Amino acid sequence: MKLLVLGGGRAQLSAIKKTKELGHQVIVSDYLKDAPGRALADHAELVSTFDIKDNVRVGRKYDIDGVMTIGTDQPVYTAAAVADKLNLNTLIDEKTAKAVTNKKVMKNIFKKNKIPTAKFKIIDKNFKQKNLKEINFPAVIKPLDSQGQRGVFKINSTEEVSRYFKDVLKFSREDEILIEEYYESNEITISGWVEQGKTNILTITDRITYEQARHIGICTAHIFPSRYLNDYFHEIENISKEIVRFFNIKNGPIYFQFLVGEEGIKVNEIACRIGGAYEADFIPLITGVDILEMAIKAAIGQTIDFKQLNNYNILKNDNWLSVQLFFANQGIIQSIGNIDEIKKMDDLIKIELNYRVGDTISKIQNATARAGYFIVKGASRQQLKENIKEVYDNLLIKNGKGENLVLRQAGEVL
């Protein structure tokens, strides 16, 4: 069978590889000529993952049996629209896909159905100061239809809203933006699968974030299990079920970001996809539920075996694991060391770098500046902490002065 995968970036590599392992052909659409997934695919097209019309054309060209994406927000809507126009199997319809990829629609559904979320307003360039009188500062401004923390700024006044308005729109196809009150909190992510409307939670992780000046919410690590798992599980589960109900999510993967602070849980954002922090790699490892294989089979209309999903209980999961999405200081890379030694560690699952010797590491403004990632497990919280430390102790990305550029403190917080 033939599957169109929207996106050939690092977040989609596991989907491309898994699809081929299952014996199917892969067509990748990506507007970048050097997208790494292009080399792994059977066919590749220089098409934007946002372009519905062109992806429909690609689907017809190759007579595809399904279309999907993982690890990225906006192509979720493209996948639903393409599937609808080509009469292919789809886990969510276009209406739901729009609701989970457009923050204006998403936030209004939260508000209408009393799903807890930060106080917000949708504004255009002609907004007046009086329009924001209900918003307390500091606040956060965001594009309505972006991802990876692109165009997200923490601001302290209405004057700064005006100052950064155009910068937000650089990452959007809309002419409005979202402003919401900044909620002092810790972040958690919920990954799971909805089967015929039933919500199954697979993992709850602490989502560690990094702030660089006005750029906030940049993810540097995920840690399983979350510190909030036991005390907040039933509340997390109930809110997740409400989201599934009010967004009419019938089947498929879910990826929710919640904030936990003094005012309790507030929902930050939601998505109907497998997460972009390599959840496709680590969820099967620690749960026994191959969420990626399920997503692929669902996309091409094959029968899914739900036995492992139905037998799984997150409260009985005693695994410890972290994905470290590490960054590095700006500079030109002179040398990279000890990667082969790190790969020999017993508890290391995977390590990948996004840069090579001679590359220039850019300023951190969003998730695209990551230097690489590694996934490591441990038999306990303490052992996981020691294993993370061991990787960082050996991870060397040096500049011409012999300085190690790796920002280990951004993610090594266990």
Tokens of 289: 């539920």
CATH, residue 30: 3.40.50.20
Instruction: State the maximum Cα–Cα separation within the chain, in Å, rounded to a whole number.
Output: 60
Domain count across the chain: 4
Provide the residue range defining the domain that includes 399. 322-410
- pLDDT grade, residue 61 (50/70/90)? very high
For residue 154, give the CATH number of its domain.
3.30.1490.20
Determine, yes or no, domain membership for 28: yes
Domain boundary among 161, 181, 201: 181
Q: Taking residues 317-343, report their average pLDDT.
A: 95
Name residue 153's beta-bridge partners.
141
pLDDT band per the 50, 70, 90 thresholds, residue 255? very high
pLDDT greater than 80 at residue 216: no
Q: Is residue 146's pLDDT more than 90?
A: no
- State what percent of residues in the chain have pLDDT above 70: 98
**For the residues of 262-322, what is the DSSP string, one character each?**
TTEEEEEEEESS--SSSHHHHHHHHHS--HHHHHHHHHTT-----HHHHH--GGG---EEE
Q: Name the more confident of 402 and 411.
A: 402
Query: For the whole model, what pTM was predicted?
Result: 0.94
388 burial (CB, 10 Å; 0-12 / 13-18 / 19+) is buried
pLDDT of residue 245: 98
Find the helix packing angle between 291-299 and 279-287, rounded to 10°. Answer: 120
Identify the CATH number of the domain in which residue 376 sits: 3.30.470.20
Residue 14 belongs to what H/E stretch?
helix 13-21
- Taking 90 as the threshold, does the pLDDT of residue 363 lie above it? no
pLDDT at 411 over 90: no
Using an 8 Å Cβ cutoff, are 164 and 151 in contact?
A: no
Summarize the confidence of residues 167-185 as an average pLDDT.
92
pLDDT at 378: 97
At 321 the pLDDT is 98
Q: Using the predicted structure, report yes or no on whether residue 368 has a pLDDT greater than 80.
A: no
Do 27 and 15 contact (CB within 8 A), yes or no?
A: no
Q: Which of 43, 19, 40, 39 is nearest to 29 (CA)?
A: 43
pLDDT band, very low/low/confident/very high, at 128 (cuts 50, 70, 90): confident
Q: In this structure, is residue 296 part of a structural domain?
A: yes
258, 101 Cβ separation under 8 angstroms? no
Beta strands 66-68 and 2-6 are parallel
Shared domain check, 221 and 303: yes
Domain end point (choices 318, 333, 350): 318
pLDDT at 365: 66
Query: Measuring CA to CA, which residue among 2, 16, 22, 3 is closest to residue 67?
Result: 3
Cα four-point dihedral sign 58, 60, 63, 68: positive
pLDDT beyond 70 at 288:
yes
